[in-house]
Amino acid sequence: MRQGGCLLYVGDGSDPYHDVRAWWNDEGRTKAKAYDNLFQRLHLTPKAFGAPEPVGKGYVRVLPEKPRQLQRDAAGADTVLECVRELYALQGGSFEVRRFLGLRRGPYRIYAALDESISEDPLVLRGAFVDLLDPALPCIAEKILAPNERTLLYDLGWARANGCRAKICAAAARVTRENATTNALRFTTRGPKATTARVRLLLPAPPKTIRTVPGVAMEEQWDQESGTLWLEFANRAEDVAFEVLF
């Protein structure tokens, strides 16, 4: 918050969790709530319980309501959304209701298209992705989600924009000892016996040579459009060292 973020805290302190023996109530010796320490650190005043209160460059708003009651109340969602709109307005932003939930963490993209939302139109995502929920780990340029569908994607564009030249994007095996140099990518795999391993690698150029120790039979496919290499082989319950030269 002090660096410009906003916090909306919803709760009236009635949840029994606040009364468990823990550090915030001195192992049950006081009546302190779990949020008391946070509010003290933020130097909040009673003002925060009725309107956003400045904290550094950001704001804090406390909504002293039971979350489960808001869930059951027909106007509960609007009450929460109004608080969110207040915080956005104070930051100079605009609040927009969308038909999906999206989360970005580094190269990972998680999306869920909502049903019973503002629109039944599908959500269309375009870019260069590895579809992590497809066991074949395909590279795709477009993902279409109907209401109530979800996806988990690896964003190849983000990886390249953040300096990744050679990297494992996804693997149906345990990968260790990954190491990229100017002309090679080395790593070790291990997986349950009698299962199939698939690995998708981001490379700056098509592979010249692929070596493994011990030797394993594999299928390989180079995707020129995405700049990725796809490998498929039988998992082994032992370390298999790979060296991909490019």
Q: What is the pLDDT of residues 84-94, one digit of tens each?
A: 999 999 988 88
Is 18 within the bounds of a domain?
yes
Residue 137, token pair as written in the block: 């780990």
Q: Which of 161, 176, 194 is the last residue of a domain?
A: 161
Residue 182 has a pLDDT of: 94
Residue 96 has a pLDDT of: 84
Is 59 within the bounds of a domain?
yes
Residue 103 has a pLDDT of: 95
Q: Which of 141, 161, 181 is the last residue of a domain?
A: 161
| Domain housing 225 | 167-245
- Within 10 Å of residue 30's Cβ, how many Cβ atoms? 10
Q: Which of 90, 117, 137 is the last residue of a domain?
A: 90
Name 218's Cβ contacts closer than 8 Å, sequence gap at least 6: 210, 212, 231, 232, 233
Angle at 37 between CA 35 and CA 5, to 5 degrees: 75
Query: Measured between alpha carbons, how far is 215 from 80 in angstroms, rounded to an integer?
Result: 59
Residue spans of the chain under pLDDT 50? none
The helix or strand, by DSSP H or E, that contains position 71, with its residue range, turns out to be helix 67-72
Reduce the DSSP state of residue 76 to 3 states and report it.
helix
Q: What is the pLDDT of residues 186-211, one digit of tens each?
A: 999 999 999 999 999 999 999 999 99
Whether residue 44 sits in one domain with residue 76 = yes
Query: Measured between alpha carbons, how far is 235 from 41 in angstroms, rounded to an integer?
Result: 51
Whether residue 174 sits in one domain with residue 130 = no
Where residue 179 sits, what CATH number does that domain have? 2.60.220.10
Is 1 within the bounds of a domain?
no
Residue 117 has a pLDDT of: 81
What global pTM score does this model have? Answer: 0.73
Instruction: Find the Cα–Cα–Cα–Cα dihedral 19, 21, 24, 28, rounded to 10°.
Output: 80
Please give the tally of structural domains in the chain.
3
Whether residue 128 sits in one domain with residue 60 = no
- Report yes or no: 168 and 189 within 8 Å, Cβ to Cβ: no
Whether residue 235 sits in one domain with residue 184 = yes
Is 35 within the bounds of a domain?
yes
Residue 84 has a pLDDT of: 93
* Strands across the sheet containing 6-10: 6-10, 58-63, 53-55
Whether residue 84 sits in one domain with residue 12 = yes
